[in-house]
Structure 1
Amino acid sequence: MRLIEWAEEQGRATGKDFLRLDCLVKNATLCGYYENAGFLPAGEAHVEFKVGPGATGENHHLQRLEKALRVPDEDLEVPDEEPQEEHGDDSDDWNEAVRASHPVVAGLRLVWREYRAPTAGGEGARGEEPSFGMWTVADNLVTLLSQMTQEDFDRHDERMPYFGIVWPSAEALVMKLLAGPRLDGLRVLDLGCGLGACGFAAAQLGARVTFLDWEPRALEIVEASAREQGLPPDLLDFVVANWSTPPDLDHFELILGADLLYEKRNAEGVAKFLGRYLRLGGEAWIVDPGRPHVRLFPTQAKMEGINLTAREILAPKGHGPAITLLKLRKPRWRRLHHVQARREGSSRPPSK
């Protein structure tokens, strides 16, 4: 990581706008590591490598990753150590708290960040702009990694602190939600919530939200954000669990998931989770920055009785890649029984 930091410094010093590196597509863990360090997918390539003169080359499938070295001023939402001006309206009392200090929760320094609905023609999507603030981790990924022991690395690579970063896919889904209709009274699950950006967007729109992540520190920060926002405690639940071995949960009208499919092996577990916990007629919104294996997810979801209803491309932030939104729905009982019957070997749905 120090080498990457050095390369970033050299790139900025020489006026470059982007830093690029390539990684083997099959090494999903390493690709995910770099994405959490701020790199975004920028296409793929097949490259032949030869070792030594006269050697036979091997063809390798590479993921190209890029990181912007210059961020436009308008994209900066979080102030540095000492903010130079106030953010938000005076009526929003919670916009004032961070704001110069960095409270520590779960052993991590935090900073306040705000989201607002996209505007059209200078007006909010519904006449006023829904907005919310949340705590995010002030330290970069290098600092988070330095807090891990070698035993942590050896035990499980997924214990790397991915939760401390709001992924571009989550930011795109937040904007999609805030620009959409109200969710009053709907039961919504933020699956693999991380710092909870998608769930807080749903809560801002009136939903009853459950935040689920297997990282306890993430849920501590989410709870701190909820307290700071002043959200009604009876409308929120916080669950520490793995989607592959979930506890007993209610069924949900809407399940949100951002960057859940960063590894190909996750698809089966996510599909089974949706099949189990989506209410009949409920929807799942899954977003991803275009990983190749995600194209297969609708097929896996269909095996669990979940159908793809729409595929949308969401506008990226800055110079990032376009984000793919998969909208999936659990059919109502007749079609669902038909799927189950087919899986059991029957050629037609059961009669009434």
Structure 2
Amino acid sequence: VLAETMHSFDVAGKRVLEVGCGLGLASLVLAHRGADVVASDHHPLAESFLAYNAGLNDLPALHYRDLPWELPDTTLGRFDLIIGSDVLYERGHALQIARMMERHARPTAELLLTDPGRGNVGSFSRAMAAQGYTVDEAYGLFDDEGDAPGRGRLLRYTREAASQAA
């Protein structure tokens, strides 16, 4: 769902970070479109998978970063758009990713997350609201999930520069 969304999402002039990229499908779609994208994960094989998949798709190597969510990375910089698919799979991830957003999101950043309904969105949304973000949700995007509330959704968090917490 995230890769499909990235196929047509407006990324012109935006610096994009994919968190928990796994095999890198969404980053590969963005790279194919010529986007400025950094794929990140903390799995020891993610970089190899991403490079292999880029080669399979006739793309040059993508920019990759090993990015543990709980550790600050002062060299990574800030992004206009941060994306992730099924990254809230453990309770502690909500706070880790919210803190990572504080460190790496530009004042008018957007965050797009797909979530299959693992139950950790509420605490994440509260943490993002404290940073000045609002959320819009789209349901029924996963073929095997239907339109069940809380299942198969795309969450879009946005904030305006004036809303950024001090």
TM-score category of the 2 structures, normalised to the smaller one? 0.7 to 0.9
Counterpart residue type for residue 297 of structure 1: F
**Residue 249 of structure 1 corresponds to which residue in structure 2?**
76
- Render the CA deviation track for 1:58-90: whole Å, top value 9, x for unaligned: xxxxxxxxxxxxxxxxxxxxxxxxxxxxxxxxx
Deviation (angstroms), 1:281: 1.0
- Between the aligned partners of 1:181 and 1:297, the Cα distance in structure 2 is 23
Are 1:291 and 2:122 matched, yes or no? no
Are 1:328 and 2:157 matched, yes or no? yes
Structure 1: gaps (5+ residues): 1-171, 341-352
- Between the aligned partners of 2:59 and 2:154, the Cα distance in structure 1 is 28
For the Cα contact (< 8 Å) 2:125–2:135, is it kept in 1? no
**Residue 174 of structure 1 corresponds to which residue in structure 2?**
3
**Residue 316 of structure 1 corresponds to which residue in structure 2?**
142
Counterpart residue type for residue 91 of structure 2: K
- Corresponding residue SS for 1:231: coil
Are 1:273 and 2:107 matched, yes or no? no
- Corresponding residue SS for 1:299: helix
- Kindly report structure 1 stretches of 4+ aligned residues shifted beyond 6 Å: none
Deviation (angstroms), 1:261: 0.7
Deviation (angstroms), 1:335: 2.4
- In the TM superposition, 1:89-128 aligns within 5 A as none
**Residue 133 of structure 2 corresponds to which residue in structure 1?**
307
Q: Report 1 or 2 for greater relative contact order, CA contacts < 8 Å, sequence distance ≥ 6.
A: 2
- Between the aligned partners of 2:158 and 2:4, the Cα distance in structure 1 is 21
Are 1:199 and 2:18 matched, yes or no? no
- Between the aligned partners of 2:23 and 2:49, the Cα distance in structure 1 is 7
**Residue 43 of structure 1 corresponds to which residue in structure 2?**
none
- Render the CA deviation track for 1:119-162: whole Å, top value 9, x for unaligned: xxxxxxxxxxxxxxxxxxxxxxxxxxxxxxxxxxxxxxxxxxxx
Deviation (angstroms), 1:331: 2.6
- Between the aligned partners of 2:78 and 2:22, the Cα distance in structure 1 is 21
**Residue 102 of structure 1 corresponds to which residue in structure 2?**
none
Deviation (angstroms), 1:244: 0.8
- Between the aligned partners of 1:277 and 1:330, the Cα distance in structure 2 is 14
The percent of aligned pairs where both chains have the same amino acid is 28
For the Cα contact (< 8 Å) 1:182–1:206, is it kept in 2? no
Are 1:228 and 2:53 matched, yes or no? no
**Residue 39 of structure 2 corresponds to which residue in structure 1?**
211
- Between the aligned partners of 2:125 and 2:10, the Cα distance in structure 1 is 27
Deviation (angstroms), 1:314: 4.1
For the Cα contact (< 8 Å) 1:275–1:330, is it kept in 2? no
- Between the aligned partners of 1:200 and 1:215, the Cα distance in structure 2 is 18
**Residue 162 of structure 1 corresponds to which residue in structure 2?**
none
Deviation (angstroms), 1:214: 0.7
Deviation (angstroms), 1:173: 1.5
- Between the aligned partners of 2:48 and 2:33, the Cα distance in structure 1 is 22
- Between the aligned partners of 1:212 and 1:192, the Cα distance in structure 2 is 6
For the Cα contact (< 8 Å) 2:20–2:41, is it kept in 1? yes
- Corresponding residue SS for 1:216: coil
TM-score with structure 1 length normalisation? Answer: 0.43
- Between the aligned partners of 2:111 and 2:139, the Cα distance in structure 1 is 16
Deviation (angstroms), 1:182: 4.4
Are 1:190 and 2:18 matched, yes or no? yes
**Residue 238 of structure 1 corresponds to which residue in structure 2?**
64
- Between the aligned partners of 2:114 and 2:107, the Cα distance in structure 1 is 21
Deviation (angstroms), 1:286: 1.2
For the Cα contact (< 8 Å) 1:183–1:206, is it kept in 2? no
Counterpart residue type for residue 268 of structure 1: L
**Residue 61 of structure 1 corresponds to which residue in structure 2?**
none
TM-score with structure 2 length normalisation? Answer: 0.86
For the Cα contact (< 8 Å) 1:184–1:205, is it kept in 2? no
For the Cα contact (< 8 Å) 2:72–2:103, is it kept in 1? no
Q: 1:306 and 1:226, CA in 2 relative to 1: closer, same or farther beyond 3 A?
A: farther
Deviation (angstroms), 1:237: 1.1
- Between the aligned partners of 1:230 and 1:329, the Cα distance in structure 2 is 33
- Corresponding residue SS for 2:109: strand
